[in-house]
Structures are given as structure tokens and as C-alpha cells.
Amino acid sequence: MNSEVIEFSGLQEATYISFCGVNDANLKVLSQCCGKRISFRDEKLMIQDCDEVTKMNIARVAAKLLEKAENGKNISEQDVIYIYRLVTRNEDINLEDMNQHVVGRTLAGKAIMPKTKGQLAFVKAMQDKPIVFAIGPAGTGKTYLAVIQAVTALKKGDVKRIVLTRPAVEAGENLGFLPGDLKEKVDPYLTPLYDALRVCLGNEKTEVLIEKGTIEIAPLAYMRGRTLDDCYVILDEAQNTTTSQMKMFLTRLGFNSKMIITGDITQIDLEHKIKSGLEEASAILKGIDDIAILHLSSDDVVRHPLVQKIIERYESIKKD
């Protein structure tokens, strides 16, 4: 088979630099996706030993990536993989819809937007529903997007407080051997929540709001007996709640509040035979108005491309 050439004209230098990536990193990823050697020079995309179907797929992927680059958006390796997957499945790709949903902004003012269809559905649900379940593997942005959305709501004055919580269940470790009181023992497990807060607020502002009680970070046990009004409440690692804990948490919902529940049911650390409260709640509460239950997949992973492959390999073994 002969090499094929796809020509693009009128591109600005910054556009094709973003398209190719640093040291042609994006082109290398695209080459790995389609199994063909790809190069880009003088506004021409050259594909070696390419059949017509592959050429058409690559042309569609390149057009979408160039569209994103022309709009001043950075292109990551994950963007290349995600768009390639959608193209080969003949699924619709609406990057503009994602770009219109700004979840929040970093301390430096950079817009934070959903990067996949699953993330977009999650963001829309958080904006529309009082209770949202986001269930999916590591790296899908569940916790990160939820915290960013909470900070945005706080800044707008939509809520008065943010409450971040998780069950005190160890992933193969024993909290009892760690020094300090219960909060000090659990704090290391809440690092992803702290990290997301600092992205939007910075270290100093985060600490000030925590000291004031505007942002509360606490173990799930601290939620018992409370009614949470005017709050944005996030329950992280919810796969490690028991049935009674999940019911207790959900019934804390007060007026003008939102609850976001995130978790990965493939990483349950509960003792054998204890049913996950997240797994059970997602089945029991399905179909109730104003409760959204979303399932993210490996397609929504926004970490290193290898994470996606690792998740898929484990999923395939589980199915077998």
C-alpha cells in the first residue's frame, strides 16, 4: 500500500505546533492508535502504508484536534486517544459543547472544563440535580471536578459552606497504628480533596477557609445527627460505605444543598461479605427524579494513557 497525504491549508504556526505536541508527542500517540507511521510537515499529514478507511479516520481525528488547537485549547495525549476512539466508533464529537461548560478556574485563571462525554454529563448533572452519584475508575476526574464545582458554587454565593468527607476505611492499612486523633489519621487519605481545593484557591486561602469552618473536611462518622443546609457536600471513596452509612449520609441533605457521591466499585476495601453502600444505593435510588446516577468508564480517564490500558486489561480479566 502507498503512503497517503492529508493536506491542511491556512494554519497558523501555533496551531500545528499544538496539534503535533512537544517533540511530536501527539503524532506519536496517534501513530500508536492506528498502527501507522505518521508525520506532519508543511501543512501535510503523511501516513505510511495506509488504507482508505484508516486515512478517513485519521483525517477526522486531525480535523477535530486542529479545530481545538485553532480555538486556543491545548491538546494532550489523552485528547488524541479519546477522539480517535470516538471516531473509530462513529460517535458524535462535540468539542464545543465541552468548551462551553466551564466548571471553574484555577488560581491563575485557567478555565477547567470537562474533557470527555462522561465528564460533561457529570458536570451537567452537578449543575442540575441536588444529588449526583459518579461511579467510575481512577483517573476519571470524579473527585477533582466535584471539588472544583463546589468551590465555584461557594464563590458565587450559591452555598455558604463546603463539606468534604469520606469513610475511614483503609486500603490495606490500619489507621489505628497512625499517630494523632481520628481527623489527623484520616487527613492523609483526603489528599486528593486538598489538592483540588488548592488548584482553585491556593494554599493560603484554602487554610483560611478551613480554619473559619467555611470548608469542612471530616470523616464520614462526623456527619451523624446533622442537617446540612446551604452546603455543597462531597462524599469521596463512597464504595467503602456500608448500607447504614450511606443511608445516614444521604438523609443529612438539607435545604439549598447539593450532595455529590463519588466512588469506584472495583476498589472496595470493606471486609468480606459487607455490601457496599454505593453499589446498593445506585440500584435502590435509580429512577428517582432529581437524583442522577452516572457511570464513567476507562474512556473518561484523563491521566497517563497507560492508566486507560491498565483499567481495560483488569476489566477484561474480570469479564473472563
Is 165 in a helix, a strand, or coil? Answer: strand
Task: Confirm if 157 and 163 have CB atoms less than 8 A apart.
Answer: no
Q: Supply φ then ψ for residue 187, to 5 degrees.
A: -50, -45
Is 318 in a helix, a strand, or coil? Answer: helix
Decide if pLDDT at 277 tops 90.
yes
Q: What is the model's pLDDT at position 156?
A: 95
223-263 tens-digit pLDDT? 888 999 999 999 999 999 999 999 999 999 999 999 999 99
**Has this prediction a pTM greater than 0.75?**
yes
Lowest mean pLDDT among 84-88, 103-107, 140-144, 151-155: 84-88
Decide if pLDDT at 122 tops 90.
yes
Q: What is the model's pLDDT at position 172?
A: 41
Decide if pLDDT at 309 tops 80.
no
Mean pLDDT of the chain, nearest integer = 86
**In percent, how much of the chain has pLDDT > 90?**
40
Torsion sign over Cα 55, 58, 64, 68: negative
Residue with cell 500500500: 1
Q: Which residue has the higher pLDDT, 52 or 204?
A: 204
Is 291 in a helix, a strand, or coil? Answer: strand
Decide if pLDDT at 176 tops 60.
no
Q: What is the model's pLDDT at position 12?
A: 83
